[in-house]
Amino acid sequence: MAYRPTWQGHLRLSLVTCPVALYTATDSGGDVHFNLINPKTSNRIKMVATDPDTGPIERADLVKGYEISDGQYVLLTDEEIKSVKLESTKTIDIERFVPAADIDRIYWDNPYYLAPDGKLAQEAFAVIREAMERSGQIALGRVVLSTRERLLALEPRGQGILAYSLRTDDEVRKADEIFASITDKAPDKAMIAIAEKIIEQQKGPFDPTLFVDRYETALKALIADKQKGHKVKTVAEVEDTNVVDLMAALRASLAGKSSPTAPKAKATAAKKPAARSSARKSG
């Protein structure tokens, strides 16, 4: 399957430059997608752009507007927006190298694959990638994606480069704003000891194939039942999980009475390369 690049431009390390293409590394959409349907006609609903004063309007005639005050906008065409060009619009310029552990996990955002764009780019790309690997550091560069300049964290992955967009500091909420109300009273040592034993029982290798979207699976089953004309079964409400006796709950968990739906690691799980083993640690 041929993938379309999200961005195309150049990768530059000092005076060494090569054409590259950036591809999204994940598929965020599941298999179940819903449309809005009029149940009286079974027709799919179309969303029509409408001006509150003049009525429906063609989307091709619309422009973007930035609100400067209530109801007042500065209007911009696509051509005008595209006229704003930074060097990072077409070039990922590696600015510095930092230890992976210095980047707090909360700043990691979306993953991409960076690959050479064309045969002539292969040699220069390989030189940059190999030098990065030998440094053992995370390379930082900038790129413009969807009208925003994003910081990219780059590291070798196989024959290519794994690139993560990083959130800016003003995008990250301060933890104290959420955690301030949590008590600093030390929990019971005996309870902690039991909880540690429970954790020890549940240790295992990370195998992403063990985790599936059970909600989407249930939706597919529901759709299949409806397609066959079966009556939809009423699912019992999930029981309240409020714990009255915490110590009793911990002891019962240690005895093996934990949730039967918890995924269990395969006893002979195949070894897989560690993803983000160091770069995903907190700084």
C-alpha span between 225 and 234 (Å, rounded): 13
pLDDT, residue 85, reads 78
| Bridge partners, 281 (sequence order) | none
Structure tokens at 212: 């599936």
For residue 65, the cross-strand partners are 75
Residue 206 to residues 100, 203, 265: CA-CA distances in angstroms? 20, 9, 8
What per-residue confidence (pLDDT) applies to 269?
Answer: 43
Whole-number pLDDT of residue 259: 47
pLDDT for residue 237: 73
Amino acid at 273: P
Structure tokens at 209: 């194939």
Q: Which helix (H) or strand (E) is 186 found in, with range?
A: none
The kind and range of the H/E element at 20 are strand 16-24
- What is the pLDDT at residue 170? 93
Domains defined for the chain, CATH in brackets: 7-30+83-170 (2.40.290.10), 187-235+245-254 (no CATH)
CA distance 150 to 89: 10
Is residue 90 a contact partner of residue 10, using CB atoms and an 8 Å limit? yes
**Quick one: which of 22, 19, 20, 18 has its CA closest to 7?**
22
Positions in the chain whose pLDDT score sits under 70: 1, 238, 240-244, 257-283
